[in-house]
Structure 1
C-alpha cells in the first residue's frame, strides 16, 4: 500500500488533441518548469501511446514519461513487452506504463472486448511483468498463451518500468492490487474516491496510486473554476459513478444530471463548490492544499490535465503547484 504523503509527485497530462506542432514544445516546457512527469494518452482515433512516449523521451532529458494507457486487447502481450523493454533500455528509469481494459465501446468496435475482462487483464499484466523481468512464463490462460517466449538477455532493461493498471471498478481495482505495480485513476479523483479505491486495491506490497485531475490555476479563483468546468462534462454519465459515489453530494449530482438534457447544461449548472472538489482548481494556494489532501489520502503521483484554448499558457499557470 502507498504510505500517505503530503507531497505527491506532480505531473501533467499531454492533451490527446494537442496540435502536432505543440507536442514537443509542451513536453520540453513541462520539463523546464520542473514537473516530475508527462503522461501521454492513447485513445482510439487520436494518437498511439508508444510512439508519443518514444518521441517525448527522445526530446527531453530528465522528465519521466507515462503511457496512459494501453488497452490490453489491442496488443499481444509478448509484442507489448518488446515495445516497453525497448523504451526502458533506451531511456532507463524514465518510463511508466499504464495498461487497462480500454473503453468497452471502443474495444467492441474493433472486435477486442473479451468475455471476461477481469481474467484477461490479470493474465495480461502478470505475464507482461514476468516477461520484462526476463522470465519465460509458460502460460496457458483463458486468453494469454505463452510457450517458450522470453526476451533475450540483450533486450532486457536494466530498470524494469512500473506496470500500472488503469481501472475503476471494485473488481478491477482488486486485480490491480494483486498483479500491478500501481493503479491509475482517471479524472476526477477526490480524496474520498482515492481512499475508496485503495480499499478495493488492497495491495500487500508497495503500490503506486497515480491520479488524473483537471488542473486550472490562477490568481482569479472564479476564472480558474470556470476554466475547469468543460473538463468535467462527463462526470454525470454512468461510467463515472464510481468516482462520484463516495462524495456527500453524489445523489444531488445524479439528480442534476437527470434534469439536464445536455452535458453542456449540466456542467454549466455545477455549483462552484462541487467544481472545487472535482478538480485541482483555484488559486495556487488552494490547488496546493488540494494536492496535500490527495497526498494524505494515499495518492503518490498527481497528474494534472491543463484546460483552455492555450495549452502552453495553461501549463505555465500550473507551475503554481510545483
Structure 2
C-alpha cells in the first residue's frame, strides 16, 4: 500500500510548493491535490507539484465533471502525463450537486454525465477517434494529436452505492471520501470488488482503491480532529479519523490495507500548526512502521 499526503482546499495555493517538496523529501509515495468549488484548480495544482518534484506520484482528487468539457479534460490529462510520464494520477467525479447548481452546470442525472464523460476521456486518452451522441456528451470524430502512451490512471470518485459501482465499472480505480468509519471503508472496498466482477473486469480481484483519513497529532490532537470532522460531514466520537502518535496512524493505515485499500492518504486538519513538520512526521515516523 502507498501512503501519501492530501493537500485539502483549506490550504491556500501558494503553500503548495513548500508542501510538495516536503513530501518528496520525507519519502512519501504520493501527494494528492483537490479541485473543490470554488477553490484551487486541480490540473494547475498537480502540474505545478509535478514540476517542483522528481519522484513522488501526484494525483487529483478530484475534478467535478459538470464543470468540464471531456475533450478539454482529456487534453489536459494527456499533456500533464506526457510532460511527467508515470507520475500523474487523474481523478474525476460527479461533483457536489449544490455547488454545481451554484455554477449553473447541475445535471439532472449526475451518474449519466459521469459515465459519458469518463468513457469519452478514457477513449481519447487511448488515442481513439471518438464520436458520441449522448445525453450530455456529443462529439464528432475527435482524436487527440498527443495522446500519452500509456495513459495515466483515471480514478473515479463517489461514495454512494451507485457512484461506487459506476466508478468500479468504468474507472481504473475508486476514490473514496475522507470522513468514513472503518466499517464503511471495509464495506465500500468489498462493494468495489463485487461491482468489478459484475462488470466483467478481468482485474476484479485487484482493484485500485484510494482512501483518505483526517489525522491530527500532538497534545491537542483529539480536540482538533473533533473540530475538523463536521467540516467534512463527519461526527466526533463515531470512530472517524485518527488522533494520536505515529503508531496510531500506522495502525489505521494497516487496517485500511487489510480492507483492500491500495493508496492511504492522510489529510491534515485546517488548523495544523506545522504542515511541513506534519509531512515529515508521516514520511519519517509513520511510513517505517507500516507492515
TM-score by length of 2: 0.89
Aligned to 1:100: 93
Aligned to 1:5: none
Shift of 1:20: 4.2
**1:205-255 deviation digits (Å, cap 9, x = unpaired):** 24311001112234x5xx3323322221146x5xx6xxxxxxxxxxxxxxx
Any conservation in 2 of the 1:9–1:302 contact (CA below 8 Å)?
Answer: yes
Matched, 1:181 2:172: yes
**1:33-69 deviation digits (Å, cap 9, x = unpaired):** 0111111111112111111111111111011111111
Pairing of 1:1-322 with structure 2 (within 5 A): 8-152=1-145, 155-201=146-192, 202-203=195-196, 204=201, 205=203, 206-218=206-218, 223-234=220-231, 237=233, 270-271=236-237, 274=238, 277-307=239-269, 308-319=272-283, 320-322=285-287
Q: Secondary structure at the match of 2:247?
A: helix
Query: How far apart in 2 are the matches of 1:86 and 1:181?
Result: 19
Any conservation in 1 of the 2:20–2:53 contact (CA below 8 Å)?
Answer: yes
Shift of 1:188: 1.7
Q: Which has the larger radius of gyration?
A: 1
**Bigger relative CO (Cα 8 Å, ≥ 6 apart):** 1
Any conservation in 1 of the 2:189–2:261 contact (CA below 8 Å)?
Answer: no
Structure 2: which 5+ runs fail to align?
Answer: none
Aligned residues: 275
Larger mean CA deviation between 22-31 and 223-232 belongs to: 223-232
What do you get for the CA RMSD once the two structures are aligned?
1.7
Any conservation in 2 of the 1:185–1:211 contact (CA below 8 Å)?
Answer: yes
Q: Secondary structure at the match of 1:278?
A: coil
Aligned to 1:258: none
**1:253-301 deviation digits (Å, cap 9, x = unpaired):** xxxxxxxxxxxxxx6xx34xx4xx3113312112111111110001000
TM-score by length of 1: 0.81
Any conservation in 2 of the 1:81–1:128 contact (CA below 8 Å)?
Answer: yes
Shift of 1:194: 1.9
Query: How far apart in 1 are the matches of 2:74 and 2:213?
Result: 29
Structure 1: which 5+ runs fail to align?
Answer: 1-7, 241-266
Any conservation in 1 of the 2:81–2:148 contact (CA below 8 Å)?
Answer: yes
Query: How far apart in 1 are the matches of 2:217 and 2:209?
Result: 23
